[in-house]
């Protein structure tokens, strides 16, 4: 029998009446990923593009699921709120 182990992290529990923060979203994604790995629907060593082809744009085609989940993929995180028109910006980080 195989067993899987999820690592769930976060800085604070969500407060009553507030929308879930990034920690809850990340933890949910990690848990779903571990379930898929346990069911052998994906491997942590799979390139992300095997499951999400559009992700491979701009030189990201070799990033693995493991790298993405462990924050080692080199993908830029935008921490500050962005204006609505930034959605249509082809390169918001310049």
Q: How many CB atoms lie within 10 A of CB 47?
A: 19
pLDDT digits (tens, 9 = 90+) for 17-63: 655 566 777 788 889 999 999 999 999 999 999 999 998 888 889 99
DSSP H helices, 1-91, are 22-38, 65-69
pTM for the structure as a whole: 0.58
Query: Counting beta carbons within 10 angstroms of the beta carbon of residue 55, is it exposed (0 to 12), middle (13 to 18) or buried (19 or more)?
Result: middle
Q: Where are the domains of the chain?
A: 44-79
Report yes or no: 76 and 93 within 8 Å, Cβ to Cβ. Answer: yes
């Amino acid at each position: 029998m195989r067993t899987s182990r999820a690592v769930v992290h976060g800085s604070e529990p969500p407060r009553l009446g507030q929308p879930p923060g990034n920690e809850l979203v990340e933890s949910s994604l990690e848990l779903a990923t571990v379930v898929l790995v346990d069911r052998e629907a994906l491997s942590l060593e799979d390139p992300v593009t095997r499951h999400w082809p559009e992700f491979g744009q701009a030189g990201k085609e070799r990033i693995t699921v493991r790298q993405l989940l462990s924050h080692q993929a080199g993908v830029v995180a935008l921490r500050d709120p962005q204006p609505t028109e930034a959605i249509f910006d082809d390169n918001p980080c310049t």
